[in-house]
Structure formats: structure tokens, C-alpha cells
Structure 1
């Protein structure tokens, strides 16, 4: 029986997982999956104080906007197949928890606003879509893989970095989010 050819998405996910596993080697910590890797935040906290991005409606989002709430900062692009694949579950988790408990911000990487808006409309994304039009925010947060989600706890402290596609409605993601919420 001939084998079924692998999809482009499967090949990209496998390559991402292999690169992450290779880079981390024996020092790997945290959770890994076939398409994502979770690591403890090790970057500078100074990225928080300089965070300021416009959303697709022209509103400016800053650190003070999310005080007291857990936050997921999801860096994505419409050309990124794993980003497109995970976006529906990211929207579902945003809807499930609500923005007062878990604020999910979808940060579009270096695409025209019109493209980000069209993507949101065509996929039913209603969470805030912020525009990182020059890539500065991604550089400040050390984002090099798409999608990357940075997880901040209810006190505003960065806790984890998730690189790769995640089913945000799954049990692994639920455990990660639970650690961010107010007790």
C-alpha cells in the first residue's frame, strides 16, 4: 500500500519540533509536543514597560491596560500556516475565560493593517489584533519562531514562552493558563 504524502504543515511542525529539541538537547525543561515547546521566561522584564502597540481600530495598548489579568501575547502572521491553524483555538480560549480574566492579544508581525483586518474578519477572530508593523515588539520579546505566545501572570510577570502551534483548548494549555490566573 503506497504511503500518503506528508502535508506541508506536518513537515513544518516536525521540523520545528526537531530544531527545538536539538537546540535544547539534554537541558530541555518544560513541556514539549509535536508542534510546540514551552520554556520558562528568561528574557528581560524591561520589555513590559516599553510595550505599546496600536490595534486594528487605532487603540493603543500598554502595560497598564492589562493589570490584574493574565495575558497571552500571541505573535503571528497570516502567511504562517501553524499560526492560521492555532488561531481558532486561541479565539475559543479568549471567549471561554473572557478578557477580564485572561486577555488574549493577537500581535500581527510586519504585515499591512488591511491584511491583518481581512484575516480577522475571514476567520471570525474577535480578540484584539495588535499591529507590530516594524517588528520592534517581536525583537524586544525575542520572538524568532511563529507562532510564539508569551504568557504573563495576573501580576504582570512573564512566566512562559510557547513556540509553535498549540491547541489552546487542550489539557496541556489549560494547565499552563491555570498557573497564570488569580487564585
Structure 2
């Protein structure tokens, strides 16, 4: 009896969490009930330009923490670039904060994964310590007031219509 119950449980569990379903991310994203202020940062991008979080107040911002050695980070980066091509015309910011690596490592990475949105350098990992990051990648969506309203741990297809719609709706509020 117990064996049948366990078999049924694991069969349902396996069916419920198939990789294809996880990769599709078809579920409508749910915003946090109580937004929290995003910790401030000042970081340089690959070109040496300084970016402050405060520079993005008044617009929705996607802030992604990642590393080149992280397989889910590498998998989601092309979808972030595709999303960026749709979102930049909506005045939505996309920032990817690399954790602990140098510009040469990231430059080499972008040969295989080209991106046109800012890649910021947190080489000493001081910024990631201030944010509620649980693993890489972790991505936050900030509202126009600079508050965290959505957090995702793990990779996503950022160009999925559900995520694009959520970001545009936030920007239009």
C-alpha cells in the first residue's frame, strides 16, 4: 500500500515538474504584496560608465545578478537580450550585475552571448551582499519608485509574453 502511494506521489510530482513546463514559464507572474526598497548601488559597466540605481527611478528596472560560470545564467541571457529589444522602447531598464568576475572574463563571454543592455561589474561582490539574492541567477523587478516588486530565483525566459506584459503594465501605471 505504501509503495503504491509513493509511486503515485512521485509520478504526479514528475508530471507536474517536467523540464519543458519549467522552461516555458507560462504562469502569470505574481507581484509581491509588500514591495521593499531596493538597496542602492553605484557600479561601472563594461565601458567604464558609472551606473547608479537612482539613475533609473521613474522607470521600471529589471536587475539581474549573474556569473559567466553559471549554466542557468548563460541559458537565460539570450532571452534577456530578446526582451531588451522589446522593452527599451517602453523606457524599461535592464541591468545585469556580474558577480565577482573581471571585465576580460565577461568580454569573452559576450562573444558567445552578445548583449546590448548594460553589464555592470560587482567585482568585489559588495553589491550582491546588500540584495536578497538566494543563488544565481536571481532577478528583481523594480517599480518606478525603486522598490522590489518581483523576485525570481533561477533562470527564466525573459521574453515570454507573460513577463513582457507584466513589465509594460508596471511601466504604464
Same fold (TM over 0.5): yes
Change (3 A) 1:164 1:38: farther
Q: Which has the larger radius of gyration?
A: 2
Structure 1 runs not aligned, ≥5 long: 1-13, 18-32
Task: Report the alpha carbon displacement of residue 145 of structure 1 after superposing the two structures with TM.
Answer: 1.1
Give a deviation string over 1:77-125, Cα, whole Å, max 9, x none.
1111111001001011111111661110011111111111221233111
Q: TM-score, normalised by structure 2?
A: 0.76
Give a deviation string over 1:37-72, Cα, whole Å, max 9, x none.
977387852613xx1111111111113321221100
Indicate whether 1:40 and 2:32 are aligned.
yes
Q: TM-score, normalised by structure 1?
A: 0.72
Indicate whether 1:147 and 2:137 are aligned.
yes
Q: In structure 2, the residue corresponding to 1:115 is in which secondary structure?
A: helix
Structure 2 runs not aligned, ≥5 long: 1-13
Contact 1:76 1:106 in 2 (8 A): yes
Corresponding residue for residue 27 of structure 1:
none
Change (3 A) 1:170 1:144: same
Task: Report the alpha carbon displacement of residue 148 of structure 1 after superposing the two structures with TM.
Answer: 0.7
1:171 paired residue among 151, 156, 161: 161
Structure number with higher relative contact order (C-alpha < 8 Å, ≥ 6 residues apart): 2
Counting matched residue pairs gives 151
Contact 2:65 2:137 in 1 (8 A): yes
CA RMSD, aligned part only? 2.6
Q: In structure 2, the residue corresponding to 1:73 is in which secondary structure?
A: strand
1:113 paired residue among 103, 120, 133: 103
| Distance across 1 between alignment mates of 2:154 and 2:44 | 24
Contact 1:154 1:182 in 2 (8 A): no
Q: Which runs of 4+ in 1 moved over 4 A?
A: 35-39, 41-44
Task: Report the alpha carbon displacement of residue 139 of structure 1 after superposing the two structures with TM.
Answer: 1.1
| Distance across 2 between alignment mates of 1:89 and 1:135 | 25
